Every structure is written in C-alpha cells, then in structure tokens.
Structure 1
C-alpha cells in the first residue's frame, strides 16, 4: 500500500498551531543560552572555575555547568546568589515589542 500524498485537515491544524509553540520554545531557549553565556563570560573574566563559582553561590558545579550550557534556568533566588558570587547585580527590564 502506498503512502497518500494528502495531509489530513486536523494534522495540518496541529502543525500550524505547533509552529507558535515551537517559536515560543525557541525564544525561551535563546534567553537561557544568553544567560548562561553571560554567567560564563563573567566567571572567566574573574578567573574562577565552575567549582569555585558553585561554592560561592551555594550550589553544585553540575548546576553551574548546566546553566552555562543553557540547559537550566535558575530561580530568582539562585540568580541573586550567582550575581553576588560574581560581584555583580541582576538587572531585569521589560522591552516593548515593536
């Protein structure tokens, strides 16, 4: 039996709907990667290891590794501890969409 070249209507609707889900997921991942990159850059600038940053922030080296890789988004509490450990502050802003 050959595959039908036709796409079912309900399958097409799911694909369209999921496009927005994919886009929002991409944006969240992008922010996680940017945050991880910022933490890593500051850590490297200070010349400290992931282990040392973890000790200062009261977390594990594995958690720092995941954060720097963009695989983990920290809680606000952990973000504040990381900032303090990095001699920095957290700045949050809302930018209106164009």
Structure 2
C-alpha cells in the first residue's frame, strides 16, 4: 500500500498535468518526474475515485415467477433496460462505466 505522502505527491502532479495543457511527456520533462509513473498514477487515482466505499453490487435471488419484462436499471439521468437473463458480469461492468461518467 502506498503512503499518503506518495499519493498526495502524485495527486498534485496529476492535477498539475491535467490543468497544464501539456502532454504527459512534456509535463514530466518540465517537472522532473517519470512520464510512465505519471501515467500509472493518473490511471490509479481515476480508478480510486470510481470505487465508492460501502457500495457494491450484490447477488439477488428472485423467488417466485420471473416476469419476462426487461429489467430497468437507473443511475442519475441514465436509464437502461436489459432483458431477463443478461450476463451479470457484463451488467456490473456497464454500471461501473456509467457511474464513472
């Protein structure tokens, strides 16, 4: 696990790069940091923002008759309908991408 100091250091550089208008390579050369490490931290910090603690998709067992009507899923302004039997892994991936938008 990375130290809070390291995470803060890279968060400042990722924010600085994003607001600079420079490419990662140009920003890295100007500030003396490794361009590959900047890219890795940019990805990691973005991923960390999309993972909301305390929220998770959980399996649900439907008891009784299943309706053939599509399943409606909504998050904010996004609403999708998926047929019964849709692959749950695909749906979970889709929902994570929607939440990241």
TM class by shorter chain equals 0.3 to 0.5
TM value normalised by structure 1 = 0.32
TM value normalised by structure 2 = 0.32
Of Structure 1 and Structure 2, which has the larger fraction of its residues in strand? 2
